[in-house]
Amino acid sequence: MVKRFFFRRHKPAPASTPKPEREAARLEAARGRILVEESRELVLVLDDEDRVLGASRRARETIEGLEEGAPAPASLLREDDAQTTFAIPYEIGGRWEKLLYVRDAGDLAAYEELRAGFTAAVSHELRTPLARLLALLETALLVGEDPKELIEQARAEVGQIGELIDDILFLSELESGRELVALGSTHALPLLVEVAEGLEERAARAGMTIAVEGDDDAALPLRPRMIRVVAFNLASNAISYAGPGAHLTLSVLQEDDQVVLSAADSGAGVDEVHLPRLFERFYRADRARSSRGTGLGLAIVKHVVSSAGGTVEASGGRGVGLTIRCAFPAADGRADPRRA
């Protein structure tokens, strides 16, 4: 439910204003309120005397002393080393108002640091398969080599590069909010079965088996596509790293006031010291296996789960397998399996 905030009432439209025009004006005003309310930025609407007419939810939750109808805190109206402000004045109804955007300077510095780190990591991750691809192509030119086999290996490297780029773009869409995560509730078990069947051949090539179990009525607060994304990445991680002879169980179970989606394998596992870092971008507990997977699968899982109000954790150890547990608050309402 959208929490509405107060805007000072404007002079009522004259009775002679045609009804369609009044309705269009009402809708336009409603859109404007929602745009400000749902902004991820610290946004304020001020009158010509710097009194607060409205504010975004984030601004109300972040700025102390913010009260609609009262003067804006003086600290917001000046720009200093700790804060930057950006004002957009406009005239409406014969009077001047302004939109005020407030940003902590530290936020921008942290963003730049994160962006630089991510760019460096992407460059590194792309450089490795590109170097292998170049080596394979150069080897194929040597006398006595089997070019057909080398070309097939090169094709596999190109495929991995494509997967990496796809994951980077998808994660970017998730973080920018362009890819919607939560929408209603969805019965998860049929989707887990669908994902497992789609990965059956790939799992067989890796020498492992997949089983699915769970409650038929268990519903997750995610769109079906996002449940597939989570299940696919959990299973793909196990296929890439569990090792031959391992068994993976995908399950969804109702536990008290939570619904838990988990992936538990009986494979090689990782040392416990690595468990908290498995959800970092490009982090691999064993760099020798860096050619397997993109290093973004579990980061995508964590982002989707967290965006839907859930938590994710890893448990296990070297030689005893790995379990990834995604816990969600129980979805309200009836699940709609038709949502796409």
Give domain status of residue 142, yes or no: no
pLDDT bin (cut points 50, 70, 90) of residue 221 is confident
Residues 65 and 198 in one domain: no
Last residue of a domain, one of 45, 72, 105: 105
pLDDT bin (cut points 50, 70, 90) of residue 322 is very high
Q: Within 13 A of 23's CA, how many CA atoms are on the CB side?
A: 3
> Is the model's pLDDT at 171 over the cut of 70?
no
pLDDT bin (cut points 50, 70, 90) of residue 340 is very low
Structural domain boundaries, residue 270: 182-340
Q: What total of structural domains would you count in the chain?
A: 2
Give domain status of residue 248, yes or no: yes
Residues 188 and 68 in one domain: no
pLDDT bin (cut points 50, 70, 90) of residue 291 is very low
Q: Which residue has the higher pLDDT, 180 or 45?
A: 45
Residues written for the chain: 340
Last residue of a domain, one of 46, 71, 105: 105
Residues 92 and 194 in one domain: no
Give domain status of residue 205, yes or no: yes
Residues 87 and 224 in one domain: no
CATH code, 61: 3.30.450.20
Give domain status of residue 128, yes or no: no
3-state secondary structure of 251: strand
CA–CA dist 75, 136 (Å, integer):
61
Query: What pTM, to 2 d.p., does this model score?
Result: 0.53
User: Do residues 38 and 56 make contact, with C-beta atoms less than 8 angstroms apart?
Assistant: yes
pLDDT at 338 (0 to 100): 41
Last residue of a domain, one of 70, 105, 140: 105
Nearest-5° angle of CA 294, CA 286, CA 114?
55
Tokens of 125: 């991750």
Instruction: Kindly state the average pLDDT of the residues 93-110.
Output: 70
Q: Which residue has the higher pLDDT, 216 or 113?
A: 216
> Is the model's pLDDT at 9 over the cut of 50?
no
Give domain status of residue 339, yes or no: yes
Residues 101 and 202 in one domain: no
> Is the model's pLDDT at 332 over the cut of 60?
no
> Is the model's pLDDT at 212 over the cut of 90?
yes
pLDDT at 45 (0 to 100): 87
pLDDT at 176 (0 to 100): 56
Residues 217 and 313 in one domain: yes
pLDDT bin (cut points 50, 70, 90) of residue 290 is very low
pLDDT at 288 (0 to 100): 41
CATH code, 291: 3.30.565.10
Selection from 88-92, 122-126, 285-289, 302-306 with the highest mean pLDDT: 302-306
Instruction: Kindly state the average pLDDT of the residues 234-239.
Output: 91
Residues 316 and 187 in one domain: yes
pLDDT bin (cut points 50, 70, 90) of residue 116 is low
Residues 242 and 339 in one domain: yes
Residues 100 and 210 in one domain: no
Residues 191 and 98 in one domain: no
> Is the model's pLDDT at 24 over the cut of 80?
no
Q: What Cα–Cα distance (Å) separates residue 286 from each residue in 268, 301, 323?
A: 11, 20, 17
Q: What is the DSSP annotation of 55-107?
A: E-HHHHHHSTT--TTSBPPGGGGS-BTTEEEEEEEEEETTEEEEEEEEEEHHH
Query: To which H or E segment does residue 231 belong?
Result: helix 224-241
Q: Which residue has the higher pLDDT, 337 or 246?
A: 246
pLDDT at 3 (0 to 100): 38
Give domain status of residue 81, yes or no: yes
Give domain status of residue 186, yes or no: yes
